[in-house]
Amino acid sequence: MNPTSAPHVFISYSRRNLDFVQQLVHALKQKGKDPWFDQLKEPLSGIAAGAPWWKQIQTGIEEVDNFLFVISPDSISSPYCHAEINYAREHGKRLVPLLYCGDVGKSETYKAIDAAIEAIPDDEEMPDSVISTIRNLKNLARENWGKISDIQFVAFTMSTPFEQSIEELLQALDLDFAWVRLHSQLTQSAKLWEANNFDDDYLWGANRLKPVHDMIARRKPELDTLVQQFIEPEQERLLREIENPNTTHQRRRDIGDRLGVIGDTRLGVGVKDGIPDILWLPVNPGGEIKIENTTFKVQSFYIAKYQVTHVQFQAFVEAEDGFKKSDWWQGMPNGFPHHTLTTQFIKAVNNPRDSISWYQAVAFCRWLDTKLPTARFTSVEKLAVRLPTEWEWRWAAQAGYGQWRYPWGEWKEGYSNTSEAGLGRAIGVGMYPHGVAVCGALDMVGNLWEWCLNDNEKIQDISLDNGQYKTIQGGSFFSNELHAISSFRNSAKPIIGDSSFGFRIVLAPPIPGL
């Protein structure tokens, strides 16, 4: 065996078949295989308890991908062979059965095997020197023989040339070898993870798990529970972690960044076929809301679960009919659009798109409105993709008639990325699921201020070209809890794209002139 590389196959056999096995090992080595072969295999009895032999056997089985069992009437009654088979099965090794017939035919060999199993005394126990979950030798032999019998044998008989049987064995060993090796690695890594109290440091990252999931999708193998837990996508583990309200702000920042690197699989965060994938949430019923001295009527509408992300806005920038097309900028002041676009401050793809002006947010909505079919949302009235009005935004953020101060009710530390979090920057969208609004929208408090359609001074006015300050809502990473109150009104010039400004979109009745 080559000590510098992992062996290809572990050979389990009876010492009484040693001459054949030595011939087999020689042939395998000539074919480029590196078998784990214990030439000084202990005799069938007399092994002292605690002898190092069994530990070496365990290590040999753990290191290989294929477990080759040389089946004969001698090996089928060997407690040590059955201990090896049992250990290999427990460790998810691929069993390759080789039927050694010697001087007789296959049918005679099968009869001799059955007779050998029946000849095992009913009360014979496994030796103390080996580990086995089943201690009665006959019961273990019957169970192992039943499992092995379900696998196609490679038979070595007097009537078949040895070289021909070797070629058949090589084909069996090489069958989907990539999966065999991968499955073996998975099983051992999963057991190591379990042995270390399921410490996340022992889990595989997304890049290493991707080919695993691809291969499993093709093969559809049966996997035990531990392996299924071990190969859980990293994204799912991270998203489960942010569900815990005790997860720190810093950890939420890091999880968002990590998802941006390995691929954020959440619906509504990314792009599909070049079009932003928006997850729309219904906000209903409507009603009336009073802002300062004016009462506004709110009709039912849909709101995006997340603020528009960097990758979603970038789809608009890069589209041939997107950012540079003049249609989206009609009615706006001269000088727009593209030369004023500010670079994203935090460039993670799943971060909210920051540094966006009101005009650029409106242009994005105009473009996306031509891309998304809205007929499935209503059969009565056309809906338009646009920025929310302040009264729509407030209705969604404060739970309609509930008029909550924050989307979740009263202020709670750890529910949003405001200045209290101490992060000093925006983070991936949706990292505070416990801060969700009643309608299901996330980050309506903190992360980035969100543009609304209307003017701030004259609330009811909506105009593209009057240059008046526009309303922004919800606070940001830079502002404190008082600025995040749903009724707090702030404003900014529509031409400004500050690093704390972003936007969220709605699907609602169209507004003339937009």
pLDDT of residue 39: 72
Burial label for 28, CB within 10 Å (0-12, 13-18, 19+), is buried
Identify the CA nearest to 189 among candidates 212, 216, 214.
212
Gyration radius of the chain's alpha carbons: 34
pLDDT of residue 3: 40
Cis before residue 121, ω within 30 degrees of 0? Answer: no
CA pair distance 209, 196, nearest whole angstrom: 20
DSSP 131-167: --S--BHHHHHHHHHHHHHTS--EEE-TTS-HHHHHH
Contact 66, 94 (CB under 8 A): yes
pLDDT of residue 189: 93
pLDDT of residue 375: 47
pTM score, two decimals?
Answer: 0.68
pLDDT of residue 2: 42
Contact 133, 90 (CB under 8 A): yes
pLDDT of residue 274: 94
The pLDDT tens digits along the chain (514 residues) read: 444 455 778 999 998 999 999 999 999 999 888 888 877 654 434 344 445 778 888 888 988 878 999 999 999 999 999 999 999 988 878 889 999 999 899 999 999 999 999 999 999 999 887 878 889 999 999 999 998 888 888 999 999 999 999 999 988 887 666 777 788 889 999 999 999 999 989 999 888 898 888 888 876 777 889 999 999 999 999 999 999 999 999 999 999 999 999 999 999 999 999 999 999 999 988 899 999 989 999 999 999 999 999 999 999 999 999 999 999 999 888 755 545 789 999 889 999 999 999 999 999 999 999 998 654 555 446 899 999 999 999 999 998 766 789 999 999 999 999 999 999 999 999 999 999 999 999 999 999 999 999 999 999 999 998 989 999 999 999 999 999 999 999 999 999 989 999 999 999 999 988 8
Q: Which residues pair with 451 in a beta bridge?
A: 472
Backbone angles phi, psi at 119, to 5 degrees: -75, -10
